[in-house]
């Protein structure tokens, strides 16, 4: 059984002043600015807390992290929440786990409603470093992507190389992998499109703000990507005649 695609746009770590428990290499705000080329890096192997103290309780049921070295560093990653800045109330939202590699992380958990949130990193053998941190309620699409030839991800190497006059490759360096995907939804309920998807599209997706994307988190949990709407793509949602259809063209980078 295939699961329906999900994306994570929300971020509880935007709900207040973001702080780190220790001074790091890079501004901690780099973790919430959507940029994949800036980072925050610790300075030693002590336990790290990245914390936000909000103003009101808000919900979250998923965690997204990208551009990290937690797998290589053997870090145990967990997410905690509180209503009193972790003085007495400390609730574990997502129990500690060690990522198997340094690929993007997307983890679902039972929804919690709290004011304050913090990411906890412990047990590292290398100094931890990462670029993107999200926590919030994921958005689920109503159907599996349409089309018998649906390709979850297409990859293209971004490289610098030199070829000889005869066409032999003399040398090549791949800096990263460009990834693209087209998510096509056919015959969805018009009220779902207008009341659920369109507000998210208007406030986040069409502004080219990135999001975490998992096309089938049950059967392909490793296929997690940090994407944004492809620049120059057009969005339309025709009726046919009582349902709506649309396509979301996405692009991202698989950091090497």
Question: What's the total number of domains in the chain?
Answer: 2
Residues 125 and 171 grouped into a single domain:
no
pLDDT for 1 equals 56
Report the distance separating Cα 182 and Cα 101, nearest Å: 26
Q: Specify the pLDDT at position 15.
A: 97
The domain boundary, picked from 140, 171, 196, lies at 140
Question: 40: domain range?
Answer: 6-140
* One domain for residues 197 and 230: yes
Indicate whether 134 and 169 sit together in one domain. no
Write down which residue in 112, 140, 168 finishes a domain.
Answer: 140
Indicate whether 136 and 162 sit together in one domain. no
Largest separation between any pair of C-alpha atoms in the chain: 71
Structure tokens at 29: 């705000």
Domain-embedded: residue 117: yes
**Listed residues 84, 111, 140: the one ending a domain:** 140
CATH code for the domain of 49: 2.60.120.260
pLDDT of residue 238: 86
pLDDT in tens, 210-227: 999 999 998 888 899 999
Per-residue tens of pLDDT for the chain, all 256 residues: 568 999 999 999 999 999 999 888 889 999 999 998 899 999 999 999 999 999 999 999 999 999 999 999 999 999 999 999 999 999 999 999 999 999 999 999 999 999 999 999 999 999 999 999 999 999 999 988 876 557 777 777 655 555 555 555 554 454 567 889 888 899 999 999 999 999 999 999 999 999 999 999 988 888 999 999 998 888 888 888 889 999 999 998 776 5
Give the pLDDT score at 172: 47
Q: Can you spell out the DSSP letters for the chain?
A: -PPPPEEE---GGGSS-EEESS--BS-GGGGGS--SS--EE-SSSS-EEEEEEEEEEEEEEEEEEES--HHHHT-EEEEEEESSTTSS--EEEEEEE--SSSS-EEEEEEEEEEEEEEEEEES-SS--EESEEEEE--EE-SSPPP-TT--S-EEEEEEEEEE-TTS-EEEEEEEEEEEEEEEEEEEE-HHHIIIIIHHHHHHTGGGT--EEEES-TTT-TT-EEEEEEPTT------BSSSSEEEEEEEEEEEE-
Q: pLDDT value at position 147?
A: 66
Instruction: Give the model's pLDDT for residue 175.
Output: 54
């Amino acid at each position: 059984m295939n699961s329906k695609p999900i994306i994570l746009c929300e971020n509880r770590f935007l709900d207040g002043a973001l702080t780190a428990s220790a001074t790091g290499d890079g501004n901690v705000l780099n973790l919430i600015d959507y940029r994949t080329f800036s980072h925050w890096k610790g300075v030693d192997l002590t336990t790290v807390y990245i914390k936000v103290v909000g103003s009101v309780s808000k919900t979250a049921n998923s965690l997204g992290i990208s551009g990290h070295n937690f797998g290589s560093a053997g870090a145990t990653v967990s997410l905690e929440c509180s209503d009193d800045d972790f003085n007495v109330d400390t609730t574990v939202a997502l129990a500690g786990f060690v990522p198997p590699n340094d690929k993007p992380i997307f983890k679902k958990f039972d929804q919690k409603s709290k004011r304050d949130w913090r990411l906890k990193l412990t047990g590292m053998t290398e100094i931890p470093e990462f670029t993107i941190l999200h926590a919030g309620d994921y958005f689920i699409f109503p159907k599996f992507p349409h089309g018998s030839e649906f390709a979850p991800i297409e990859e293209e190497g971004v490289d610098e190389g030199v070829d000889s006059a005869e066409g032999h490759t003399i040398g090549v360096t791949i800096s990263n992998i460009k990834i693209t995907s087209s998510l096509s939804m056919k015959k969805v309920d018009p009220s779902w499109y207008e009341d659920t998807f369109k507000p998210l599209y208007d406030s986040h997706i069409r502004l080219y703000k990135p999001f975490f994307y998992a096309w089938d988190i049950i059967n392909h949990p490793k296929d997690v990507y940090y994407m944004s709407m492809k620049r120059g793509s057009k969005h339309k949602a025709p009726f046919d005649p009582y349902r709506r259809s649309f396509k979301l063209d996405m692009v991202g980078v698989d950091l090497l």
